[in-house]
Amino acid sequence: MGPIKQASLTLDPAGMRLQPGQGLAQQIYAQLKDKILHGSLAPNARLPTTRELALALQVSRNTVVRAYEALISEGFVLGRVGSGCFVAELAKLVAEPVGGGHPPARGAVAPRTTLWACLQDFEPTPTLGPQARAFRHGLPALDLFPHALWSRLQARFWREQARPRSKSPRQAGQTVSLSYGEPAGLPRLRELIAAYLSHSRGLQCGADQVLITAGSQQAISMAALALLRPGDRVGMESPGYRAAAAALGLSGAQVVPVPLDGQGLRIAALQALGPLAMVYTTPSHQYPTGVTMSLQRRLDLLAWAEREQAWILEDDYDGEYRFNGVPLAPLATLDQRQRTLYVGSFSKLLFPGLRLGYLVAPAAWLTTLAKLRSVLDRQSSIADQVVMADFMAEGHFLRHVRRMRRAALERRDSFLSAWAQDLAPSLPLAYRSLRMQPIDAGLQAFWPLPSRALETRLVAAARAAGIELGGVAAVGGLPAHSQEAGLVFGFASVTPPDIRRAVAALAQAWRPIFERS
Amino acid sequence: MGPIKQASLTLDPAGMRLQPGQGLAQQIYAQLKDKILHGSLAPNARLPTTRELALALQVSRNTVVRAYEALISEGFVLGRVGSGCFVAELAKLVAEPVGGGHPPARGAVAPRTTLWACLQDFEPTPTLGPQARAFRHGLPALDLFPHALWSRLQARFWREQARPRSKSPRQAGQTVSLSYGEPAGLPRLRELIAAYLSHSRGLQCGADQVLITAGSQQAISMAALALLRPGDRVGMESPGYRAAAAALGLSGAQVVPVPLDGQGLRIAALQALGPLAMVYTTPSHQYPTGVTMSLQRRLDLLAWAEREQAWILEDDYDGEYRFNGVPLAPLATLDQRQRTLYVGSFSKLLFPGLRLGYLVAPAAWLTTLAKLRSVLDRQSSIADQVVMADFMAEGHFLRHVRRMRRAALERRDSFLSAWAQDLAPSLPLAYRSLRMQPIDAGLQAFWPLPSRALETRLVAAARAAGIELGGVAAVGGLPAHSQEAGLVFGFASVTPPDIRRAVAALAQAWRPIFERS
């Protein structure tokens, strides 16, 4: 222990001010630490005894003892409480921040990575209030979610965790724990998803091809990280899902917009773009325009991918919502060369806050994809995976999908009839040709518009009337691309009466705009 | 509609074989689709009527109708069921796979990214059975988790979802929904974490600095993606947490091992490495050796970071488990320049399968970090965030932390006394100097060994005796680094009687090895 210094740099308790209330020991500790770090308590200075300091600060001696013990255990102070404490001799103390005083000036140095710069430019879809309102897009009929059933399944999971010995036969050989699990996902859930895809979606695949992800967004970001190199070019439908475009850029790839027509992605335009490493597409129900890719286009796209040795990333975010006939088989079912990765999600069938989705990929890739998952965030929540597996295995899932499809169909019809009755007739003649795109599938309608300027005005007027509308600029505008315009109406998240009220309100809110133009 | 072709390429139902059981329509659909895609049913060929095919295949006519409708809706067949169906004229049909026949040959083309190659070399910690056994490391006392309480909080969340109008005062103004939420995390949970860090860990920070992540692994991978550029060099303690090393390499950075001594990371060795963009460190309790970084080293590391303009990534994965005195304040509390990012996790306090952790970063960065989260996987599970927030707000969390710390302390003491009593005396004299490192903190003990060869033999003998042990090679070996050796004993996940039994079993299992050597 060093010699005792002169009084000039020992502690003068008069300068210490404590806020009344909890945490007195913490305050003493923090103020002493600060004085030591900034040199106003010099190395080797002797601290007052705990009794002296307690008296000076009018606190209990125990409080000071706790503060001293913390300083000793962290190495700021040497000695033993009760037999003399000294400030430790520390080299390279913290310099005063430029400008003096603290807390330190805000404004940390900004990271200088390319990704950081890209992210700063990225405008994600804004987070909206919790109450679903007409016509928020991207949401299913959350009001139909079987809360009570889901809660019961969760309670059962926890009961079984509490009594690990009394396994139900359902779980025999499938014991799970609260510990770390398989990064690829709960084996039982992977099997159930493979069976669902094979039986209900026509996509023959094994559990060894299914990777559980935290929603479709993670499936896309993982594909981008695993398959794309900096400088690669990725084709993407335009307008398209902006969050997917951002994910595709994660490893430094450049996203190139590919125009659409009534049959989907234009293959001739794709070919004209030159070599691409990947194409991202939503063939079942293009986001946001709602176009279904024709069979010929699907075949052409696969032939192109084979020729170019490119990957196809198929995002089937709402493929279950097919209103005319059976749901279309995914593009991946036509792929004989394993160039298509298939992305699915439970967000549009159960609820987005669940964060469960999946990526279907060649079986030979699964080990490496699972390693990527383990490096990114290890795995999905174990309780959610078990409950989801039970929900599927016990038949609730297929029943719920049917009910959700019926509800979406009913809400679509309410929307279309309210539109035809209340809104379409209120449009001036010049705008009557702006027809709502047919809605054969999905959770939203798309209304093409002649200009972004009109789109902006209509969105603003709707918002003023309390109605949420996504313009292409906000929901599907890829950067640096031409100015398609239109409005997206999410009709599935609210009930028919709300839909009718909202259409009537829109007709009124928009009248001045259409009359002026 | 095209003209009818000659019979040669029309359908011969004799060649179709159906498996009995469910999915007959699906089988008919799939076989016809296959014939069309491969040209054995030619464009414009007329299909048999549904009645004819039903008769030929001995199935109900409705089954064939369903198959035909699927083919029509997907564009493989033109016409209307009942009035004549024809194969569509499709260009660029799928070529027969090389070698003929299908299902197509396995073995998809492998991706050629650098990350893919790195991941293939990465050996993650193997996923172990669900039942915790001595001495699995990285796990807390999962047997003490309050299942029933957690389950009740979850049930309450679902009840409130089912009755959104009758909000409890607790949730007033904090309504959440099953829909998409804030990528940065539930605001209430961010506030509670900031308050916990400020009051209990001495890390003064605001909710605007806290980003909720899917466990500490995602906090590390996000920091790597956001802050590192391809070719950057990142220093990492060696031996160190291998999954962190893999995450640090996600954006193409090179991980450089930095040796340790009894005070932690060696600053002189760090300086000798030349410019680094970041250092990853576990100062509270080095993983896996258990060393606590001294105060002087912390100050030197901060000074180095300021000089080099490097970031420090502090992983405080089990900082709450301090057995002597109060938990050490994080390194980040000494940082006046905002160069330290602080990573915390609930995995070691609640359970790893929960997947909730956090990153504390400069407030000015939070918007961009939240965008990165939204691009990677949008957000954490909403129900888990709400339940975690309730668990903290209602005082359960602090109580649970105290209980977990007491349990870990009791189990550490059981381990040390069993070791001293049953194992240490059985070691030959030459090995008596191999002392268990002091265990002042954390969930595991570290026993340094003279060679990897001995480590391998001891791990294998333990496994044969039914005891899990992590060798440095498996849990903390960084690639291309020198051969530190040692064993990691996770003592916290099993009860004292199990610990004593396991130590006795180890003494017996190892006797032949030590006698031979």
Tell me: the pLDDT tens digits for B357-396? 999 999 999 999 999 999 999 999 999 999 999 999 999 9
Q: Indicate the domain borders of chain A.
A: 4-90, 405-516
| B465, B479 Cβ separation under 8 angstroms | no
One-letter identity of residue A30? A
Task: Name A157's Cβ contacts closer than 8 Å, sequence gap at least 6.
Answer: A383, A386, A387, A390
**Is the preceding omega at residue A135 within 30 degrees of 0, hence cis?**
yes
Give me A416's structure tokens.
């279309």
Residue A296 contacts B, CB cutoff 8 Å: yes
Distance separating alpha carbons of residues A477 and A257, to the nearest angstrom: 10
Nearest to B448 by CA among B462, B463, B460, B458: B458
Mean pLDDT confidence for A404-412: 96
Question: Which pLDDT band holds residue B472 (cuts at 50, 70, 90)?
Answer: confident
Which of B108, B296, B384 is facing A91, going by the closest CB pair?
B296
Chain B CB contacts of A371 below 8 Å: 119-120, 122, 124, 246
Give A 345-384 residues with CB within 8 A of chain B.
351-355, 361-365, 368, 371-372, 374-384
In the 8-state DSSP scheme, what is residue B79?
A: E
Q: Which residue carries 């090679």 as its tokens?
A: B473
In this prediction, residue A482 carries a pLDDT of 58
In this prediction, residue B400 carries a pLDDT of 97
Distance separating alpha carbons of residues B476 and B125, to the nearest angstrom: 9
Q: Which residue of B has its CA nearest to A339?
A: B108
Distance separating alpha carbons of residues B185 and B382, to the nearest angstrom: 9
Count Cβ neighbours within 10 Å for each residue of B224-236 and write b for 16 or more, e otherwise: bbbbbbeebbbbb
- Largest interatomic CA distance in chain A: 95
How many whole angstroms from its chain centre is CA A299? 32
Residue A263 contacts B, CB cutoff 8 Å: no
In this prediction, residue B92 carries a pLDDT of 63
**Residue B138 buriedness (CB in 10 A; 0-12 / 13-18 / 19+):** buried
Q: Which residue of A has its CA nearest to B107?
A: A364
Chain B CB contacts of A280 below 8 Å: none
Chain B CB contacts of A115 below 8 Å: 225-226, 251, 372
Task: Name B94's Cβ contacts closer than 8 Å, sequence gap at least 6.
Answer: A299, A302, A334, A336, B37, B38
Question: Which pLDDT band holds residue B9 (cuts at 50, 70, 90)?
Answer: low
Nearest to B256 by CA among B243, B266, B270, B268: B270
Residue B187 contacts A, CB cutoff 8 Å: no
Residue A108 contacts B, CB cutoff 8 Å: yes
For B84, phi then psi, to 5°, come to 105, 120
In the 8-state DSSP scheme, what is residue A418?
A: H
Average pLDDT over all residues of chain A: 87
Greater confidence, B253 or B6? B253
Homologous superfamily in CATH for domain A405-516: Aspartate Aminotransferase, domain 1 (3.90.1150.10)
Classified as helix, coil or strand, B235 is strand
- Model ipTM? 0.90
Asked if pLDDT for residue B279 goes beyond 90, the answer is yes
Tell me: the pLDDT tens digits for A11-38? 777 778 888 766 888 889 988 988 888 8
Chain A CB contacts of B310 below 8 Å: none
Mean pLDDT confidence for B14-23: 77
What's this model's pTM, rounded to 2 decimal places?
A: 0.90
Task: Name A300's Cβ contacts closer than 8 Å, sequence gap at least 6.
Answer: A267, B91, B92
Distance separating alpha carbons of residues B492 and B439, to the nearest angstrom: 12
Residue A221 contacts B, CB cutoff 8 Å: yes
Question: Which pLDDT band holds residue B104 (cuts at 50, 70, 90)?
Answer: very low
Distance separating alpha carbons of residues B360 and B194, to the nearest angstrom: 9
CATH for B4-90 is 1.10.10.10
Listed in sequence order, the DSSP H helices in B38-123 are 50-57, 61-74, 114-121
Question: Which pLDDT band holds residue A179 (cuts at 50, 70, 90)?
Answer: confident
Q: Which residue carries 């490192």 as its tokens?
A: B437
Distance separating alpha carbons of residues B228 and B252, to the nearest angstrom: 8
d(CA A179, nearest CA chain B) in Å: 5
CA angle B278, B279, B283 (to 5 degrees): 150
- Interchain contact, A229 vs B131, CB within 8 Å: no
- Interchain contact, A94 vs B334, CB within 8 Å: yes
Question: Which pLDDT band holds residue B3 (cuts at 50, 70, 90)?
Answer: very low
Chain A CB contacts of B116 below 8 Å: 226-227, 368
Q: Comparing A59-73, A468-482, B209-223, B422-436, which segment has the lowest mean pLDDT?
A: A468-482
Greater confidence, B482 or A339? A339
d(CA A54, nearest CA chain B) in Å: 20
Give B 376-435 residues with CB within 8 A of chain A.
376-384
In this prediction, residue B137 carries a pLDDT of 86
Distance separating alpha carbons of residues A346 and A391, to the nearest angstrom: 12
In the 8-state DSSP scheme, what is residue A222?
A: H
In this prediction, residue B146 carries a pLDDT of 95
d(CA A176, nearest CA chain B) in Å: 5
Provide the residue count of chain A. 517
| A189, A207 Cβ separation under 8 angstroms | no
Q: Comparing B80-84, B153-157, B424-428, which segment has the lowest mean pLDDT?
A: B80-84
Tell me: the pLDDT tens digits for A338-382? 999 999 999 999 999 999 999 999 999 999 999 999 999 999 999
Count Cβ neighbours within 10 Å for each residue of A49-86 and write b for 16 or more, e otherwise: bbeebbeebebeeebbbbbbbbbbbbbbbbbebeeebb
